[in-house]
Amino acid sequence: MATQAAQATQNIILAGFGGQGILFAGKLIAYAGLLEGREVSWLPSYGPEMRGGTANCSVCLSDEPIGSPLVVSPDVLVALNQPSFDKFEHDIAPNGLALIDSSLVNCTEKRDDLHLVGFPATKLAEEAGLKGLANVVTVGRLFAEIGFCKKETLFAAVEKCVSAAKIALVEKNKEALELGIASFEEMKKVSERRPRKEGE
Amino acid sequence: MSEKVLMKGNEALAESALRAGCRFFFGYPITPQTELAAYMSKRMPKEGGTFLQAESEIAAINMVYGASAAGARVMTSSSSPGISLKGEGISYMAGADLPGVIINIQRGGPGLGGIQPSQADYAQATHALGHGDLHVIVYAPSTVQEMADCAYSAFDVADKYRTPVMILADGMLGQMMEPVVLPEPKNTAPEKPWATVGHNHARPHNIVNSLFLSADKLEGKIKERFERYEVIKRDEPRAENFMTDDAEIVVMAFGASARIARSAVVSAREAGIKAGLIRPITLWPFPAFAIEETIATAKSYLSVEMNMGQMVDDIRLVVAGRAPVEFFGHTGGVIPTPQEVLAKIEAMHEAIGGKAAEAAAALTGGKAGA
């Protein structure tokens, strides 16, 4: 756990349609970093693309003061729709991670230096009665993939980001995180039988 | 100490102003400043204060004039085109010696320009925020924490010198979230015996006014005000010098571009280049002292700005020919990358190295010839 928390800078871009909760997902990650005493920044797109197109935000977690909060070459891209994946795929740093919602995005890989993980976040969320929480399911999966914080911190971050007045919603968000983490465990079980293409 | 929370720069400015005792806010919506006014609209009534969305920026700044004249702690905020509209009112405030805080979350200009982050109002803020012989103290925070700290102290500074104070930020700083520890609420506004408040004829009338039709009287007023400006220039300049002790290439940048420049300076150091950063925290008064501290080791200066080169002129005035001063920037809402700034530093480093080699060669050649 300590080694997970002490890892180097993470520069993340999260992108999707407006309404998918992209900015919230980014805030959740940033808050987890804050709770662990790291340097964090969260920068949303606020331009015309927000009006009826894609929403995106840059999140940086670091142990050093953060320079530009605008992520140009992300280590991690989270894409919840096709235009976002198409827009940012080429910007991902070599050997970076692309985490995409395969229920909504066609995951054809154009680069061979990416760790591409497609998983059906929206479908999983809907099947579990967590409609509208694919964003948080995806944060759970990202946590399982790269461990950007301790697990308990992630759940504490939910309590900071969701109004305490909405206890039911806090619980739903935690369920969504668990669902995302479980999808990773499930995938690992499958890959033990069938080695993963990405090879870890 | 308060808990560390994650907040947008715009919200931190608003919350901190409330904690500094600001009880009047007048504004008009504009991107990328809107969250500030929205936050005030929610919080101000709970503090027993007044939030009012005026019919225009011009109306808002004149309401600031009125509230300030009545002795209140008052603030307005806008973004570039809206600040131009407020220029007249700011000049009236300066002419009437009225304190107040004005926030500019800059966007691209001129005209309506764009809505992406920019620093193109540097010259306006520092040299001509309104007509007439006037200065306004200008702060340029570069983190959300510093935005909170500036908003908290700006009211005290404004009251101390009876002058408008501007906090000059931009769309990036306003929109981004960072951890921030908010200051404790205070109520330390000084007595304002000059304020136009009711007194039941207990004293002569106070008059707040910027109209002086006698030239001699107006000149006297302005000269008195400029004596105060001298005190401000002596006591208030602030800057942060980073890795400048032995710096040969001294980068100078404020606000958002200082964050980018700092990353570039760190990378340059890793590459063995003696680079450093001067980050002005006050833009007026301009922190000339911070440049003087570097002049002995500096071989050249680089101003990094999100405009076509405005602060670079002020740096040249201080450096006064003692070293070359170069510029790098983007404008219109384009944000420079640390890589671009690093490339510029490397090019300057090479040029210095080249010149040094030439000079050495010339020296050797001279000796050989003698």
pLDDT of residue B339: 96
**Alpha helices (runs of H) in B208-254, residue ranges in sequence order:** 215-235
> Regarding beta strands B282-284 and B137-139, do their DSSP bridges make them parallel or antiparallel, or are they unpaired?
antiparallel
pLDDT of residue A7: 55
In 3D, which of B104, B85, B124, B253 has the Cα closest to residue B173? B104
Cβ contacts of A43 on chain B, cutoff 8 Å: 172, 175-177
Where do we find the tokens 């307005």?
A: B76
pLDDT of residue B370: 34
pLDDT of residue A164: 78
The answer to whether the CB of B110 falls within 8 A of the CB of B151 is no
In 3D, which of A176, A76, A56 has the Cα closest to residue A116? A76
B180: nearest CA partner in chain A? A34
CA distance B14 to chain A (A): 18
Beta bridge partners of B248: none
The mean of the pLDDT values for chain A is: 89
**Could you give the CA distance from residue B343 to residue B23 in angstroms, rounded to a whole number?**
47
Q: What is the mean pLDDT of residues A101-118?
A: 88
CATH of domain B240-369: 3.40.50.920
Q: Please report the number of interchain residue pairs, chain A to chain B, with beta-carbon separation below 8 angstroms.
A: 59
CA distance A160 to chain B (A): 9
Closest partner residue to B172 (CB to CB) among A31, A43, A48 is A43
Cβ contacts of A40 on chain B, cutoff 8 Å: 6, 178-179
How many other CB atoms sit within 10 Å of the CB of residue B132?
12
CA distance B339 to chain A (A): 11
Q: A40 and B337: CB-CB below 8 Å?
A: no
pLDDT band at A3 (very low <50, low <70, confident <90, very high): very low
Consecutive 10-residue runs of chain B (370 residues): their mean pLDDT?
Answer: 91 98 97 97 97 98 98 98 98 98 98 97 97 98 98 98 98 98 91 93 94 98 98 98 98 98 97 97 98 98 98 98 98 96 98 74 52
Cβ contacts of B253 on chain A, cutoff 8 Å: none
Domain with CATH 3.40.50.920 in chain B: 240-369
**Could you give the CA distance from residue B210 to residue B219 in angstroms, rounded to a whole number?**
12
pTM for the whole structure: 0.93
DSSP for B39-92? HHHHHGGGGT-EEEE-SSHHHHHHHHHHHHHTT--EEEEE-HHHHHHHHHHHHH
Residue A196 has pLDDT above 60, yes or no: no
**Could you give the CA distance from residue A121 to residue A134 in angstroms, rounded to a whole number?**
5
Cβ contacts of A41 on chain B, cutoff 8 Å: 176-178
Cα–Cα distances in angstroms (integers) from residue B292 to residues A157, B33, B250, B254, in the given order: 46, 35, 11, 17
DSSP A39: E
Best B6, B105, B345 residue to mutate vs chain A (most A CBs within 10 Å): B6
**Complex ipTM:** 0.91
Least confident range from A4-13, A68-77, B29-38: namely A4-13
The answer to whether the CB of B76 falls within 8 A of the CB of B50 is no
Any CB–CB contact under 8 A between B141 and chain A? no
Q: What is the mean pLDDT of residues A6-26?
A: 89
pLDDT of residue A1: 35
pLDDT of residue A5: 41
Closest partner residue to B338 (CB to CB) among A44, A46, A68 is A68
Cβ contacts of A48 on chain B, cutoff 8 Å: 115
A67: nearest CA partner in chain B? B259
Q: Where are the domains of chain A?
A: 2-193
B196 burial (CB, 10 Å; 0-12 / 13-18 / 19+) is middle
Where do we find the tokens 């990773």?
A: A184
Backbone angles phi, psi at B308, to 5 degrees: -90, 10
Looking at CATH, the fold of the domain delimited by B4-235 is given as Rossmann fold (3.40.50)
Cβ contacts of A34 on chain B, cutoff 8 Å: 4-6, 179
pLDDT tens per residue, range A157-193: 999 999 878 889 999 999 999 999 999 998 888 876 6
Closest partner residue to A72 (CB to CB) among B31, B116, B337 is B337
Token digits for A83?
């235009």
pLDDT of residue A145: 96
Best A43, A66, A73 residue to mutate vs chain B (most B CBs within 10 Å): A43
Any CB–CB contact under 8 A between B4 and chain A? yes
B267: nearest CA partner in chain A? A67
Residue A200 has pLDDT above 50, yes or no: no
Token digits for A140?
């759970």
Token digits for B308?
């076509």
Q: A41 and B177: CB-CB below 8 Å?
A: yes
Q: B178 and A40: CB-CB below 8 Å?
A: yes
- Degrees to nearest 5, angle at CA A17 with A12 and A23: 45
pLDDT of residue B60: 98
**For residue A31, what is the enclosing H or E element?**
helix A22-35
Report domain A2-193's class: alpha beta
Cβ contacts of B260 on chain A, cutoff 8 Å: 67-68
Q: What is the mean pLDDT of residues A67-77?
A: 96
Q: B175 and A46: CB-CB below 8 Å?
A: yes
pLDDT of residue B363: 65
**Could you give the CA distance from residue B170 to residue B253 in angstroms, rounded to a whole number?**
14
Token digits for A38?
């790291």
How many other CB atoms sit within 10 Å of the CB of residue A15?
26
Residue A69 has pLDDT above 50, yes or no: yes
Token digits for B28?
């008009």
Q: A160 and B6: CB-CB below 8 Å?
A: yes
**Could you give the CA distance from residue B224 to residue B218 in angstroms, rounded to a whole number?**
10
Residue A199 has pLDDT above 50, yes or no: no
- Which residue type does B239 have? A
